[in-house]
Chain A
Amino acid sequence: MNFTAPESLIFWTTIIFVVFFFLMKKFAWKPILGAVKSREESINNALKSAENAKIEMQNLQADNENLLKEARAEREAMLKDAREIKNKMIDDAKEEAQTQANKMIAQAQAAIESEKKSAMAELKNHVAGLSVDIAEKVVRQELTNKDKQLALVESLLGEAKLN
């Protein structure tokens, strides 16, 4: 290998490298490293905000879930109430109907009883009239045969009592 004037290469390498280093530092490395760093920061920030948004979303979803659950519970409760009210109404109606029916039956019975009584009274009146008629007839016949009349009266009376 030829050693051509070592001082030349050492001198120029030093000068060129030092100048090159400072030029690159100022015009290349600083802007590039700065840009890369700021981009990395912005990416990190974007990722962080995305993460936050995700958490917020999850919270929102949980809220929605809770709301839904509450609504469902409310609906259930309302349905239950309605069912109870319905049952109660039916029961009440049944009871009312029962009492009404009972009352009507009682009234009917009372009416029947009073009808029966009045019918009985009429019957009695009728029987009494009949008895009077019979008695009249008997009295009329007695004028002819006393013994026979007596026996007849007695038998008639016996019959009348059966009624």
Chain B
Amino acid sequence: MTIAQNPIKLIATLIIAMLPFFALAFDGGQHGDDKEFNASELINGHIGDSHEFHIADWNGHPISFYLPVILWTDNGLTVFSSEKFHHDNTGEHIVETNGQKFVRHNEVIYYADDYANLAEDDKSAFNFEARPLDFSITKLVFSMLFSVIILFIVFYVVARSYSKNDKAPKGLAGFLEPLVLFVRDDIAIPNIGEKKYAKFMPYLLTIFFFIWINNIFGLIPFFPFSSNLTGNIFFTFVLSAITFLITSFNGNKDYWKHVFAPPVPKALYPIMIPIEIIGLITKPFALMIRLFANITAGHIIILSLVSLIFIFKSVFISPVSGVFVLFMSVLEMLVAVLQAYVFTLLSALYIGQAVAEHDHH
């Protein structure tokens, strides 16, 4: 038991203790001496997505983990390594594969021919005219796969340990079982009810641990962590959409009756029904925005504090920044679990509302 717990404690302590130093090292090398430091560019680059996983710079050369670029072009599927862009993000370097030419500008891949004719305002990720559909394994997708594999291994090992040990849980199971029971006894049962909670337990446990581990991984400032996955609005959109779908498909007669035949005079239906439908959508919308905003804000604050050193161009700011970054990192550890809890709790609450049996009808 001591063998199983001590490394966890040790790693956690190390990570917390070294957070500011890693953050300094991470950013310190990213910009050449001759280039003007731009904090918002740095922060935007960090909290966004990219086609390669930047690890560090060495002698002015970036060291990256190159991820595959997968494009659905007008001529079908094209796959090549992101190394071919040579770290270019300005749209100057042209990549040629299978007779097609691509350029990359601000992490968006365009057809080279169309890009040349684009006005500055039209250079956007939403300009589907000028760019192929991009299904690349980006940094965030890579992080997601990584976290999913870690989670699966951990819980598979825990689940296996139960078949050998039918007594009190030991080691990793002893650490994770209270969390599983917390999701069951404090999130699922109070919100969904004793009768129906069991069906939704796998989903609630999955999103709780999935969001939590990605929140934590996002705070660890070095490869293969540090991705702002849970602070990406498309990621939170998918999760909240899944909660919305589960809620809708499990909604009982009372739930839908409340939306499409609310207990008000029929004359008010033209007002009430749109309001109820908006109400259905605002719930997952709030889930999406809450997680995105909280995690992104945390990353921005930590990166801004680190940037202070470069803005002031003084090494004497670094202890101040370090202390603040340490403080924020610890706070973000709390936010990481809190946001996972809130997302799970509200999902359970919405599901509970959809499956609730009403006696007063």
Contacts and interface: CB of A to CB of B under 8 A. Distances in A.
A28 B134 contact: no
A9 B70 CA distance: 12
Given A17-B239, A29-B205, A12 B159 contact: no
B163 interface: yes
B163 A9 contact: no
Interface string A12-43: 11101100110111011111110110110010
Given A13-B238, A20-B152, A20-B206, A27 B232 contact: no
B180 A33 contact: yes
Interface in A118-137: none
Nearest to B109: A5
State the majority secondary structure of interface residues on B.
helix
A35 B166 contact: yes
A8 B148 contact: no
B106 interface: yes
Most buried by A among B124, B158, B234: B234
A123 B78 CA distance: 175
A29 B151 CA distance: 12
Contacts, number: 140
B302 interface: no
Given A20-B206, A28-B155, A36-B180, A4 B138 contact: yes
B141 A12 contact: yes
A6 interface: yes
Given A5-B109, A36-B177, A20 B210 contact: yes
A1 interface: yes
B202 interface: yes
A42 B184 CA distance: 19
Contacts of A35: 159, 162-163, 166
A162 interface: no
Contacts of B106: 2
Most buried by A among B158, B159, B177, B296: B159
B109 to A, nearest CB: 7
A143 interface: no
A25 B205 CA distance: 9
A10 B234 CA distance: 6
Q: Which range contains the number of A residues in contact with the other chain?
A: 20 to 34
A9 B141 contact: yes
A148 to B, nearest CB: 147
B49 A2 contact: yes
A1 B296 contact: yes
A35 B134 CA distance: 43
Contacts of A32: 155, 158-159, 162, 177, 180
A17 B210 contact: yes
Contacts of B206: 17, 20-21, 24-25, 29
Contact of A2 (B48, B155, B160): B48
A159 interface: no
Given A28-B158, A33-B180, A8 B136 contact: yes
Interface string B25-65: 00000000000000000001101111100000000000000
B309 interface: no
Contact of B152 (A14, A17, A23, A33): A23
B234 A28 contact: no
A2 B145 CA distance: 21
A2 B156 contact: no
A28 B166 contact: no
Nearest to B300: A1
A109 to B, nearest CB: 101
B133 interface: yes
Contact of B148 (A16, A29, A31, A39): A16
28 contacts: A2-B48, A2-B108, A3-B48, A4-B48, A4-B49, A4-B51, A5-B108, A5-B109, A8-B70, A8-B135, A8-B138, A10-B234, A10-B237, A13-B141, A16-B144, A16-B148, A17-B238, A17-B242, A20-B148, A20-B152, A23-B152, A25-B202, A28-B158, A29-B155, A32-B177, A32-B180, A36-B177, A42-B166
Given A24-B151, A32-B158, 14 more contacts: A2-B48, A5-B125, A5-B136, A8-B70, A11-B135, A17-B239, A24-B155, A24-B205, A24-B206, A28-B152, A33-B180, A33-B201, A35-B159, A35-B163
Interface of B: 44-45, 47-51, 70, 106-109, 124-126, 131, 133-138, 140-141, 144-145, 148, 151-152, 155-156, 158-160, 162-163, 166-167, 177, 180-181, 184, 198, 201-203, 205-206, 210, 232, 234-235, 237-239, 242, 296
The 3 closest A-B pairs by CB, nearest first: A2-B48, A5-B134, A35-B162
